[in-house]
Structure 1
């Protein structure tokens, strides 16, 4: 099965239940998040997923390079990904430092920090994957807003160390995304593919505005076809932040995700 369940899609499902539920449903991949992994215990989590025959497809997240301790924290994130057997560490670059209007400087900081982190990631067998976020998140969460920007940041560094995430929720609006997907594939930098839908009106808490597959306006199958045309055969992570979905029992949320994935992605 290509589908990998990103842990945040069933955010309140305890990790042991998530692992058992995925294994029971035939879902072989999970994308994990650092905070719940730390709460459960890094070594315990690695043992849990192995016992259920699961593959950790990614770890979320590194980045937030405006923080004073960003370099140290991202090195720890790389070590955690390696310990979990996650081949990809997702990077959300972070926004502007408090009180700053220097967008160019913030993006330059991302480039400089990537250059320091890439060799460390390579030593640990982990690929860094820059995730461009929708421009509405530029000020506080991610100064990398387009796939072209992400690829330009990755370009000076080895492709086996730094690449990009294709996330339909964040890229669906960008007419240059199709060229960017082809470029990412040609450069060997397409490290992860994530799907979620875009629904309007957006909720008051914009971070929980990701829609269930098929509920919004994104042509998910077109994205899947474009990604696969590059030769990508890796996992397709479903990553949805949505209060209504989080309110469902984990097994029901997973069953709905599987149904919609079949209807709208494959």
Structure 2
């Protein structure tokens, strides 16, 4: 059975594969789209990466990741913003190299609390300010900045934006073509308000990308590596997917998995296993 044509393999799912391998095994498995990460792209250089993407015939769905700009004003914040501008340029170039239907979406992970701080609200305001500085660059490049809320267990060290509602509150200050949200089932499934917030995101035209994987306990010691294949855990992927599709979302859907066992699997087998899980847990719910 062929993989669902809307399935995109986020490169994190096969993290140990270099860019050439990731592109090759995705195409070999019949996948039509891929979400890229900055580190493998930078290993080969942007120009070479763009050529490789073009040769692969795959659509590009996202570029991961930028952000990490919660620190107070100073040299470190200026450096972070400059790095985000480079990421915007990368995103535009890679999307342009991808097959028709590629989307220029740069995923933003806000960053955690600065050292010694307990001020989550203040850190979120600095996220809003940073995005405001980047919007002109994103607009000029035709790139959408996608704010990704992360599960609250990451609030202090990785992302002070914890709910879809918080992400939408920040995005609301900016044009929807420039700023949207990255809606990741792993991070938002627990939120009792998530279905209403998905509808809100849809009304505002803010869903830049939809990502799925699964959650099950016990969590590993490193909770960053606690994602599983769709259908292998407790997330109601069906309900979330129905809600997203009901907004009119018609783009590709990424599977993004951080899991040592998945990373240790042969990349082609991991992609094929991902496609099977997607076909069972997501595909049945893609019709409005």
TM-score category of the 2 structures, normalised to the smaller one: over 0.9
State the partner residue of 2:69.
65
- Secondary structure (helix, strand or coil) at the match of 1:144 reads coil
Which residue number corresponds to residue 238 of structure 2?
A: 221
Does residue 88 of structure 2 align to residue 78 of structure 1? yes
Matches within 5 A, 1:157-168: 157-168=174-185
Aligned to 2:35: 31
The alpha-carbon deviation at position 99 of structure 1 amounts to 1.0
2:222 matches 1:202: no
Q: Following the alignment from structure 2 to structure 1, what is the Cα–Cα distance between the partners of residues 161 and 120?
A: 10
CA contact (8 A) 1:87 1:127 kept: yes
Unaligned stretches of 5+ in structure 1? none
Q: Are 2:70 and 2:124, in contact at CA under 8 Å, matched by a contact in 1?
A: no
Distance in 2 separating the partners of 1:221 and 1:28? 22
C-alpha contact (below 8 Å) 1:184/1:190 kept by paired residues: yes
Structure 2 CA distance, aligned partners of 1:164 and 1:122? 16
Cα shift at 1:45: 1.1
| Aligned twin of 1:107 | 124
CA positional deviation for 1:20 = 1.5
Q: Secondary structure at the match of 2:158?
A: coil
| Cα shift readout 1:47-79 (whole Å, capped 9, x = no counterpart) | 111111011110000100135222111111101
Alignment partners' CA distance in 2, 1:165 and 1:200: 24
5+ residue gaps, structure 2, are 96-102, 284-288
Correspondence 1:176 to 2:180: no
TM-score by length of 2: 0.91
TM-score, structure 1 normalization: 0.98
Partner of 1:11: 15
Secondary structure in 2 matching 1:22: helix
| Per-residue deviation, 1:14 | 2.3
Q: Is the 8 A contact 1:224 1:265 kept in 2?
A: yes
Q: CA RMSD in A?
A: 0.9
Contact (CA 8 Å) 1:13, 1:249: kept in 2 or not? no
